[in-house]
Chains A and B, each alone.
Chain A
Amino acid sequence: MADLIVNGQAIPLDEDGFLEDTELWNEEVAKALALTEDVPELTEEHWKVINYLRDYFAKFGVAPMVRKLCKDTGCDLKTIYELFPSGPAKGACKIAGLLKPTGCV
């Protein structure tokens, strides 16, 4: 997929539009990724989810189970889908700069 251009810097994306290199994530990158996911603006609620995902990823190297994400952020699944239309495993993880969850999901 074409690179994501953020402040003049080219950030490589994989075919699914996820970051090739998760180290290149920052808040500006998140905002640019959000636009690719039909999320025009990142609100405080979005950031609550993004920051939770990033903390978990830093600790464990993967996304948390969806139930845990909901419980710990206080956002039920419906809210997560409202915030990130393609869902917790795709939109939310992409914007938060995580690897794409794969398998039977």
Chain B
Amino acid sequence: MSEVRIPYEAKEKDLKVMHVGAVPAEERPKAALELLGEMLKYKRSLKLYLDVCTHCGACAEQCHSYLGTKDPYNMPVARVELVRRVYKKFFAPGRSFLRAWEGAKDIDQETIDLWYKYFYQCNQCRRCAIFCPKGIDTAEVTIAMRELLAHLGLVTKFHAGIVKNMKTTGNNMGTPLPAILDGIEFLEEELKEETGLDIKIPVDMEGAEVLFNPSSSDLFTNTDGFMSVAKIFHKAGVSWTLSSRIAETANFGLFFHEPTMREHNMKLMNAGKDLGVKRIVAGECGHGWRTWRMFTDTINGPLPFPVVHLFEEVLDYMRDGRIQFDKTRNPELITYHDPCNYGRGGDLMDQPREILRACVQNFVETTPTKEYSYCCGGGSGILMDEAMEIRMALGQPKAESVRATGAEILCAPCAICKAQLPVVMNHHKVDVKVKGLSDLMGRALIL
């Protein structure tokens, strides 16, 4: 290839871990057509979404990707049209002259280049689906098309690297167990220094009630949040453990490769079974949560135990009176960012707000909010450095909605959002600190 694509493509050797090979460029159009045909047989949602769009355009101005980049291909209707036109030509029912009138188009290498480019500028946030009168969910189309691209050997270097790390170490960052254990020992010392208490972070404790599955970035950059979780379990008197086999709630398979999602699910299920826990508690991660809540039981189930979110677990402790918060310890003006996969994909909007009401003094909502909230611009793993310019454009609508609140702290309880939003806010000159909800709970917790 003469031109470097953004995001960078994974090299062929890095695809082996996903058991896909690179299809030579000249054979891709034919192979893509076959793959699309196969997908249409088992993905009814894809076929439906390609059939029912009336091109009304209600989605266009609701998509942060279009609002931020002003690139017409980033209107959800136009993004999906990149596939729809091929679908119309080869698969849709109807007479052929009508198909041409409807914009049916042959498939060529340029089509595939456009797919790679624009399906990696969609954050799979699902906001368009809220506004579409037909209920078309572009995220589903993006997921399907990225899956198709993966079968052609077209995966981003970033996503492929994470799959490889997950397989070799059980976490996206690729942190080997000795480093995790070293970090945990250090955090126990930090907890002792801060609280004077012996707050343990158990690993592989058989028979523990809870297996807590954090994001691996909680053990690298977001340690305040992780330490807060340890404090909460300690105070609530709940026996909990981490697993040495998996420390990752982010499941990148959801974004582009179902077999990877399935394998990741299985790893966590088996870890939970072998430790004999009563439930798994998922840490702060939007899409990971959507996966556990919406897909795991269907794809890998039935599960022998529930998978609950940390916020649901904490609400139980609050209602039972096992923990209390002192909200005066969070006196700043605080606003909340709904991670897309909590608000629009994981039934988790009121729970974090109930916790916030208990542990912060001054809360302000953004406009729009809840299921109408804008994506951070990093969703679906668009976190690679080479896409920084696009990422900043994707985050622009969110930045403006946060600026308008005047908040000092932006609570964003998702690892991707926590990686993306500080850069976005800095770029768009919004003076706000980004923190997880765990961080705020930890500050307010009465130990």
Contacts and interface: CB of A to CB of B under 8 A. Distances in A.
Interface of A: 15-16, 60-68, 71, 89-90, 99, 101-105
Given A60-B179, A66-B221, A105-B217, 5 more contacts: A65-B187, A68-B186, A102-B165, A104-B217, A104-B416
Contacts of A67: 186-187, 190, 223
A21 B8 CA distance: 19
A66 B157 contact: no
Contacts of B174: 62, 99, 102-103
A104 B250 contact: yes
A10 to B, nearest CB: 20
B26 interface: no
A103 B385 contact: no
A1 B11 CA distance: 14
A102 B217 CA distance: 9
A2 to B, nearest CB: 12
B418 A104 contact: yes
22 contacts: A15-B157, A60-B176, A60-B178, A62-B174, A62-B179, A66-B221, A67-B186, A67-B187, A68-B183, A68-B186, A89-B220, A89-B221, A102-B161, A103-B171, A103-B415, A104-B216, A104-B285, A104-B383, A104-B416, A105-B173, A105-B220, A105-B221
Contacts of A66: 220-221, 223
B162 interface: yes
B220 A65 contact: yes
A64 B171 CA distance: 15
Interface string B383-409: 101100000000000000000000000
Q: B187, B219, B220, B385: which has the most chain A beta carbons within 10 Å?
A: B220
Dominant SS at the A interface?
loop
B215 interface: yes
B173 A60 contact: no
Contacts, number: 79
Contacts of A99: 174
Interface of B: 4, 8, 157-158, 161-162, 165, 171-176, 178-179, 182-183, 186-187, 190, 215-217, 219-221, 223, 250, 285, 383, 385-386, 415-416, 418-419
B29 to A, nearest CB: 27
A101 B158 CA distance: 11
A15 B8 contact: yes
Contacts of B161: 102
Given A16-B385, A102-B162, A103-B173, A65 B250 contact: no
Given A103-B250, A104-B419, A62 B175 contact: yes
Contacts of A68: 183, 186
Q: B174, B179, B418: which has the most chain A beta carbons within 10 Å?
A: B179
Contacts of A89: 220-221
Q: B173, B190, B386: which has the most chain A beta carbons within 10 Å?
A: B173
Given A103-B216, A103-B217, A105-B220, A62 B157 contact: no
A71 B182 CA distance: 14
A101 B220 contact: yes
Nearest to A90: B385
A103 B223 contact: no
B389 to A, nearest CB: 15
B160 to A, nearest CB: 10
Given A66-B220, A68-B186, A102 B179 contact: no
Contacts of A65: 183, 186-187, 219-221, 223
Contacts of A60: 176, 178-179, 182
Contacts of A103: 162, 165, 171-174, 216-217, 220, 250, 415
B173 A101 contact: yes
A101 B402 CA distance: 29
A105 B419 contact: yes
A105 B157 CA distance: 15
B175 to A, nearest CB: 5
Nearest to A104: B415
A61 to B, nearest CB: 6
Q: Which 7 A-B pairs have the closest CB atoms?
A: A104-B415, A103-B172, A60-B179, A103-B173, A104-B217, A67-B223, A104-B419
A89 to B, nearest CB: 7
B350 to A, nearest CB: 25
Given A15-B157, A65-B219, A66-B220, A102 B183 contact: no
